[in-house]
Structure 1
């Protein structure tokens, strides 16, 4: 759920003094990477998702995030991380603090009433490049790396401020319009070979962000809506036509007849044949 943020709070990110880099690192090449629940009482952390996707539990709330998304862990916030094996995570991350704010209620990176996940947007590529440079400077440690790393961190924080402002300009009305457009697209193309990634590409949006406005509007994910839309049409065809079961499956978008039967049975509670038999025996057409 999107929450409005006071612009005075946002401006205060720029004014935070003495950000001090503590470390920079990366996670890659491990499909089963996970990090149990933990927190950092004396530092903040930024995680930039370069590739892949995963599940993150932040302050008791579960989030799915993918390529281009940014995770912000304010100090003292419990968080847990897990890569999806079929989409292994590749991330750059850094830890830092604001020494002069250590005992202040203003010691945060994103406001405490704000979601800690910034979804991919037009600034994500820029931030990804900065995080990569920060990691390289920290690992190579060539001449003036302290100075360069410090300036990179300040730029990263300034760009995060810009990203937060950009998110606030995306109103609930716009999100609702997107959800309506996606639903209309699914209704017109549900028999085609569709995937969440393909739908997201059609609307030029991150697939892991697409689901949020849609689910908020219709209380169902786009893929689950697609399944119910297909099976709803399948039930109509089973009852009102003499098409073979495999033909019905193919007609509504399932090339594999076994998969269609298994999915139909799981969702509807009867096999396609059982459904057809139980409904056709009580269906009587008028004779001409």
Structure 2
């Protein structure tokens, strides 16, 4: 409905690769080169054991319950040593559109996310992904897509829990994002004023609290979202009364009012005259 990162209509991640890997040291050189990705995000999940990773020239030992999240431009390399025994799930993704940036997962942690609150749920989802991939069941690709979407949501919840914020709070929005948010709402009002719209509807579709939406909207527009919508509806009604010979009940319905009495009351309050008298003045 709205052009917003957290809009469910925009949430359609593309799975580029997905593989289950079990590793142990074989005395050979590391299986991967020190590299970065320029066109995707890679998520590597440690399901059991531990392994060393070189990330942007820093060495880390990662263990079960941790995920490595390599956004574009993050250099990384898996390093196997004589003590390495680990089981990992590797996922390559594009078009995430769930987090604040279009196609990256940002958090405080140098690319390593340690699951605490959602650890069990996260690992269970990873096991479900591996099981589904190996099952080759009918329409398995649809189920894998659904499970990956679930996994990303679990990641977002852990990140927000860890950083002491929620997706709904909206507190991370900057001034530009606030302007985009308000413009999306006003554009939606202009196109859908004839439909049933409430602040709760907007809130649910944008995954933001009604209080936050009202606050930002009033700061930028000088009025509440609902009053702004009422002004649009009454302005459209005025145009219809000036140009069309329609019943008041019909005009009310056309601009989003199911109750003609309620419409007339709003119209008179706004223009100082009833709809009937207003139309009569144009004849």
* TM-score, length basis structure 1: 0.48
